[in-house]
Amino acid sequence: MIERRRFGRTGHESSRVIFGAAALWRVSQAEADGVLSLLDEAGVNHLDVAADYGDAELRLAPWLTARRGDFFLATKTSQRDGPGARASLERSLERLGVDRLDLIQLHNLVEPDEWEAAHGPGGAVEALAAARDEGLVRFIGVTGHGLRIPSMHLRSLERFDFDSVLFPLNHVLWGDAGYRRDVEALLARCSERDVAMQTIKSIARRRWPSPPPEDRQSWYEPLPVSAAIDRAVRFVLSAGPYFVNSTSDLRALPHVLEAAERPLVTPSSDELDADVAAWGMRPLFDGAALERI
């Protein structure tokens, strides 16, 4: 079973691998239900979805009808204005078939104009705080992509007392001195405030070549099934009090779960560097946010 850890100030003991429900974007309900069995075997008890993830919220709804109490449930909104964020939240509640969320997150909040709109009067943050006060959601978080996001999360935490953050982390990104410095500063701030820290892109290999394969399940190319997946997952889990949000590529999901179930032995820099060379791993980001998943 995957280790559980307190998810920041929420107090929830969440599995250190969180199911990234973007993986359910285009699957049938039967396929989704097969994934649930896999998560149960590994002890995953935290689900992360978004309003923008196609049919994913609808695919989770049957799970939640019978087993709402078994999962910490998080979704996201890309809306920056208050009315839009409120409508997005209400639609997610309807699609998920629940009357309350555990966590609502501002999705990919990185662009300065969107940041100002979300945090300003009548913005999304104000509306979500009101929804929390009404009991529609328990906690509020913020997510993002790209090299700028750790520093933007620091800025967000100065403006509002978020309960969780989400950002990319893997060995290739850790090699970027500026990014590493920003993540370390974010870690210090989140540790002070008991803010949960989620990570994405742990098993990213590189961007797809052009044209990408038609059967791709993720906007980036994940590592192929190999010991490299095991080391990539263990790198993030051993780097700090982080949670790993699983990949949207369902073919890799069992291997991510298996890696997290094994004893946590930190891979060496030499091992990780060898994986970079062997698999041609490259940075996903060039400084722009670019992607939303």
Q: For 86-136, write each residue's pLDDT tens digit.
A: 999 999 999 999 999 999 999 999 999 999 999 999 999 999 999 999 999
pLDDT of residue 214: 86
Give kind and range of the element (H or E) at residue 46. Answer: strand 46-48
The tokens 């997952």 sit on which residue? 233
Confidence of residue 215 (pLDDT cuts 50, 70, 90): confident
Please say whether the dihedral angle defined by the alpha carbons of residues 200, 205, 206 and 208, taken in this order, is positive or negative.
negative
Helix pair 112-119, 149-159: axis angle to 10 deg? 20
How many Cα atoms occupy the beta-carbon half-sphere of 82 within 13 Å? 10
Pairing, β 220-222 against β 13-15:
unpaired
Confidence of residue 280 (pLDDT cuts 50, 70, 90): very high
d(CA 16, CA 6): 9
Confidence of residue 273 (pLDDT cuts 50, 70, 90): very high
The full set of domains in the chain, from first to last, is 4-279 (3.20.20.100)
Output the pTM of the full model.
0.95
**Peptide bond connecting 212 to the previous residue in cis, omega within 30 degrees of 0:** no
Confidence of residue 171 (pLDDT cuts 50, 70, 90): very high
The structure tokens listed for 4 are: 């559980």
d(CA 101, CA 99): 7
290: pLDDT strictly greater than 90? no
